[in-house]
Amino acid sequence: MSRKIAIFPASFDPVTNGHVDLIDRISRLALFDEIVIAIGINLSKPPRFTFEERKEMLETVTANYNHITIEQYSGLTAHYALERGACTVIRGLREMSDFEDEFQMARMNHQIAPGVDTLFMMASAKYAYLSSTLVVEIFQMGSTKMSDEKLLEIVPPVVVKMLRKKFEPSSGNG
């Protein structure tokens, strides 16, 4: 009997509470033997965090899950899913406008890899506005005015620590 593997691809640059919520909800469905958190390379924008930093953040927030693997990939998600032997690609949807792009991508992925289905998961309402890009922009523009309590509403504690280390002027990196 073959293992059921799902791929959850994103840039995770950085991981947000929206990502963590989806990972938790996908895990609770108990549909898959393994969930591969696939850190993708987005050629249209340079990463803010290295692969190693993103992997560290994800390892921290998924430490309580024994069925999660974290990997980096480049190229087409459909090809990566085939290489990994995955049966499903999981995509999060924040709003209706996401659906059009994701639907088109799912159809193309299915054309390339007919045995790989796409599972759409709606973001929880409290995270529907949240994106990694928005998190970094908000942090860079107002980090000194934002309390950790407010930041923790949008990102896990490990991400707050890494954002402060990377972007605050007092850290020597900003």
Q: Which of 4, 67, 94, 161 is an active site residue?
A: 94
Q: Which of 11, 19, 48, 91 is an active site residue?
A: 19
Q: Which of 44, 45, 97, 170 is an active site residue?
A: 45
Residue 156's CB is within 10 A of a number of other CB atoms, namely 20
Helix (H, G, I), strand (E, B) or coil at 55: helix
Helix (H, G, I), strand (E, B) or coil at 92: strand
Could you give the CA distance from residue 101 to residue 87 in angstroms, rounded to a whole number? 21
Could you give the CA distance from residue 121 to residue 22 in angstroms, rounded to a whole number? 7
Active site annotation includes 110: no
Active site annotation includes 19: yes
Q: Find tokens 């998190």 and name the residue.
A: 135
Q: Which of 48, 54, 91, 132 is an active site residue?
A: 132
Q: Which residues are catalytic?
A: 19, 45, 94, 132
